[in-house]
Amino acid sequence: MAALFKSEFYKLRKSSIWLLIFVSPLLSFFIGLLESNEVPQYEGVQWVTSLGMMTIGHAILFLPLLTGVFASFVCRYEHAGGGWKQLLTMPVHRGNIYIAKMLLVALLIGLTQLLFVVALLVIGWIKGFPGDIPWDVIGSSIAGGWLACMPLLALQLFVSVAWSSFAAPLAINVIFTIPNILIINSERFGPYYPWAQPFLLMMPDSSESFGALNTSATTLFIVIIGGFVVFFLAGLFYFKRKEI
Amino acid sequence: MSELIIETKNLTKKFGATRVVNHVDMQVKKGEIYGFLGPNGAGKTTTIRMLLGLARPSKGSIHMFGKDIRKEKLAILRKVGSLVEYPSYYGHLTARENLEAVRVLLDVPKSRIDEVLSIVRLTKDAKRPVKGFSLGMKQRLGIATALLGNPELLILDEPTNGLDPSGILEMRELIKSMPKEHGITIVVSSHLLSEIDQMATQVGIITKGRIIFQDSIHKLREQASSSIKLTVNDVEAAWKTLLSNGFTTDLVQNNIYIDNGTDDHVAAIVKSLVEHDFSIYRVEEQKKSLEEIFLELTGKEGGLL
């Protein structure tokens, strides 16, 4: 398993796709920088309001899109050069290959989240936010966003493994990501929509509560873990039986 | 009886209702170069995919190195190097990096990469991205990858596909040298008889999913029955004379043919012709080529040569 992950990491490192982890934190950095929250009512909570502002673009659009791109990409170089054939005749378990690929994408998303925190800290330093950084809020937002990407990751990996096309899983991902802007407002559908979950878990609940943000954290966790288990097992079962 | 490296029993693969591979009993002995021969679409690749665990048999069993593939797949795959149809590669990596990505999985020393690169003579191009390689170079990289884990069995599916004549020659020499130098058993598939003829020691011929011949290449050559061709001055009259003297011969395109004639039989015919004052220009033995045998066996189907 360690060898598999090492090999997967090696293949990815030599491509340039991992550079995408910088895109969203950078954009969020500029959004956070330009946003003016020097209004009196935000006094003392600038960290959280900035985090909220930055989360909108990052979690509604970029996290779901990046998850799809990374999932497609770790399968792309296998589809393109007949890599599956070679990989699956190696003395390794098929299930482990699938898990290694999934861990790799999870790692990339995790790195994106960490860079996002770095962006927030730099903004706070430039703007001189109050010294006591609310680590609990930031921590749960970042971890929550990462966790909420997991069902989506499992789903996208399943689709990417099944289809040899690189574009098709991405197109599907984009099509389902765009309605996010509406769906996060829906109390009924929001929590169950895999593409909306990153935002719902990442948004710090201090400021305005709207739409699906009212859903309790417990419900969200159950939906997210349940969704992940279902998509993961379906993908794993499919991959183990797939004929190359 | 030497040790069997591959033994399949009743191996069958169905796609829908059609049996692409139909009750195949394949037997490959240690140290042999097993030529797996058949027209396009005969079931060669499907059989090989099942041997490698890429596809699941619908029926039948596969034993390799005496182990059941359903139970000890990883232990088997550890000893097998393979190249299926087109070479597999990661285009964004160099040749060396491609091998490194696989080496990590096989857990062999780094020095092995240089060894296999020199075997396939890619050392000079090792630092170039593989997407810029010619098909021949990719094919050689594929062989290098297959050799990386010091396999005891090498399964090569159409390894000369898409290679130019010098590439084919090179590949053939490489394959022929393996059993001698490294004690590797090789299964090599091809739709070209001449290919197999030049490297294999054992032959399995498959057509429409069934193995119709499996034995040594010498046995296949022995099947090449010969006939004697006679060229004489007045063919028609000679043929009639022979018939009236009790010799049945074939008259084809102004030549007389004697099928499966023993030496005495041929001598008697020649004597009879001489006695009847015919001029005999030539007495030649006509051997059926392997090509013709192959066509006969496979029922003249599929594009060959």
Evaluated on CA atoms A15, A17, A22, A23, the torsion sign reads positive
pLDDT higher than threshold 60 for residue B294: yes
Rounded distance between C-alpha atoms, residue B267 and residue A190, angstroms: 97
Number of domains in chain A: 1
State both tokens at B210. Answer: 């069934």
**CA distances in angstroms from A176 to A182, A190, B284, listed in the order given:** 11, 13, 78
Amino acid present at B18:
T
Residue pair B210/B22 in contact by the 8 Å Cβ criterion: yes
Which residues of chain A are within 8 Å of residue B102 when distances are taken between CB atoms?
Answer: 7, 86, 90
Q: What distance in Å separates residue A81's CA from the closest CA in chain B?
A: 5
Rounded distance between C-alpha atoms, residue A131 and residue A97, angstroms: 45
Q: What is the CATH number of domain B226-287?
A: 3.30.70
Cβ contact B91–A81 (<8 Å): yes
pLDDT higher than threshold 70 for residue A40: no
Indicate the SS3 state at residue B59.
Answer: strand
Indicate the SS3 state at residue B251.
Answer: strand
Flag whether residue A99 sits within 8 Å of chain B, measured between CB atoms: no
* Least confident piece of the model among A43-47, B40-44, B47-51, B138-142: A43-47
Is pLDDT larger for residue A159 or for residue B254? A159
Least CB–CB distance from B101: residue in A11, A82, A93: A11
Indicate the SS3 state at residue B21.
Answer: strand
Q: How many residues does chain B have?
A: 305
pLDDT higher than threshold 50 for residue A191: yes
Give the pairing type, strands B4-15 and B59-64.
antiparallel
Convert the pLDDT of each residue in B64-97 to its tens digit.
999 999 999 999 999 999 998 888 899 889 999 9
pLDDT higher than threshold 70 for residue A55: yes
Amino acid present at B176:
K
pLDDT higher than threshold 60 for residue B305: no
Rounded distance between C-alpha atoms, residue A91 and residue A84, angstroms: 13
Residue ranges making up the domain that contains A190: 2-241
Cβ contact A89–B93 (<8 Å): no
Q: Work out the mean pLDDT of chain A and round it to a whole number.
A: 85
Give the pairing type, strands B33-37 and B185-190.
parallel
Q: What distance in Å separates residue B50's CA from the closest CA in chain A?
A: 9
Evaluated on CA atoms B118, B121, B126, B130, the torsion sign reads negative
End-to-end CA distance of chain B: 35
pLDDT higher than threshold 80 for residue A214: no
Cβ contact B89–A82 (<8 Å): yes
Percent with pLDDT over 90 in chain A: 31
Residue pair B16/B168 in contact by the 8 Å Cβ criterion: no
Residue with tokens 């490294």: B182
Convert the pLDDT of each residue in A111-151 to its tens digit.
999 999 999 999 888 888 887 888 888 888 888 889 989 99
Indicate the SS3 state at residue B276.
Answer: coil
Residue pair A29/A53 in contact by the 8 Å Cβ criterion: no
Rounded to the nearest 5 degrees, what angle is found at the Cα of B18, between the Cα atoms of B67 and B156? 45
Side-chain half-sphere exposure of B5, counting CA atoms within 13 A: 21
State the pLDDT at residue A99: 94
Residue pair B51/B9 in contact by the 8 Å Cβ criterion: no
Which residues of chain B are within 8 Å of residue A10 when distances are taken between CB atoms?
Answer: 97, 100-101, 104
State the pLDDT at residue A194: 85
Nearest to B64 by CA among B190, B155, B137, B141: B155
pLDDT band at A223 (very low <50, low <70, confident <90, very high): confident
End-to-end CA distance of chain A: 21
Question: What is the arithmetic mean of pLDDT over B273-281?
Answer: 89
* Least confident piece of the model among A232-241, B106-115, B218-227: B218-227
Flag whether residue A17 sits within 8 Å of chain B, measured between CB atoms: no
Question: What is the arithmetic mean of pLDDT over A165-187?
Answer: 85
Rounded to the nearest 5 degrees, what angle is found at the Cα of A243, between the Cα atoms of A1 and B21? 135
pLDDT higher than threshold 90 for residue A57: no
Provide Rg for chain A, Cα atoms. Answer: 19
Indicate the SS3 state at residue A50.
Answer: helix
Percent with pLDDT over 90 in chain B: 40
Pairs of residues, one from chain A and one from chain B, whose beta carbons lie less than 8 Å apart = 78
Which residues of chain A are within 8 Å of residue B86 when distances are taken between CB atoms?
Answer: 82
Q: Work out the mean pLDDT of chain B and round it to a whole number.
A: 87
Q: What distance in Å separates residue B254's CA from the closest CA in chain A?
A: 56
pLDDT higher than threshold 70 for residue B116: yes
ipTM of the complex: 0.83
* Least confident piece of the model among A64-68, A134-138, B48-52, B276-280: A134-138
Cβ contact A89–B105 (<8 Å): no
State the pLDDT at residue B12: 93
Percent with pLDDT over 70 in chain A: 92
Which residues of chain A are within 8 Å of residue B90 when distances are taken between CB atoms?
Answer: 11, 77, 81, 83
State the pLDDT at residue B248: 83
Indicate the SS3 state at residue B55.
Answer: coil
Residue A196's Cβ-count burial label (10 Å; 0-12, 13-18, 19+) is buried
Amino acid present at B165:
P
Torsion angle, alpha carbons of B19, B22, B23, B25, to 10: -140
Which residues of chain B are within 8 Å of residue A83 when distances are taken between CB atoms?
Answer: 88-90
The residues spanned by each domain of chain B are 4-79+151-222, 226-287
State the pLDDT at residue A38: 65
Query: Quick one: fold of B4-79+151-222?
Result: Rossmann fold (3.40.50)
pLDDT higher than threshold 50 for residue B300: yes
Is pLDDT larger for residue A244 or for residue B131? B131
pLDDT band at B303 (very low <50, low <70, confident <90, very high): very low
Convert the pLDDT of each residue in B31-47 to its tens digit.
899 999 988 888 899 99
State both tokens at B242. Answer: 């022979």
pLDDT band at B226 (very low <50, low <70, confident <90, very high): confident
Least CB–CB distance from B74: residue in A6, A83, A91: A91
Nearest to A52 by CA among A21, A28, A22, A24: A28
Question: What is the arithmetic mean of pLDDT over A72-79?
Answer: 90
State the pLDDT at residue A205: 67
Secondary-structure percent of chain A, ordered helix, strand, coil, rounded to 5: 75, 0, 25
Rounded distance between C-alpha atoms, residue B238 and residue B162, angstroms: 51
Query: For B133, which DSSP code?
Result: S
Residue pair B216/B68 in contact by the 8 Å Cβ criterion: no
Cβ contact B88–A91 (<8 Å): no
Rounded distance between C-alpha atoms, residue B206 and residue B20, angstroms: 11
Residue with tokens 């091809």: B190
Flag whether residue A19 sits within 8 Å of chain B, measured between CB atoms: no
State the pLDDT at residue B224: 65
State the pLDDT at residue B304: 44
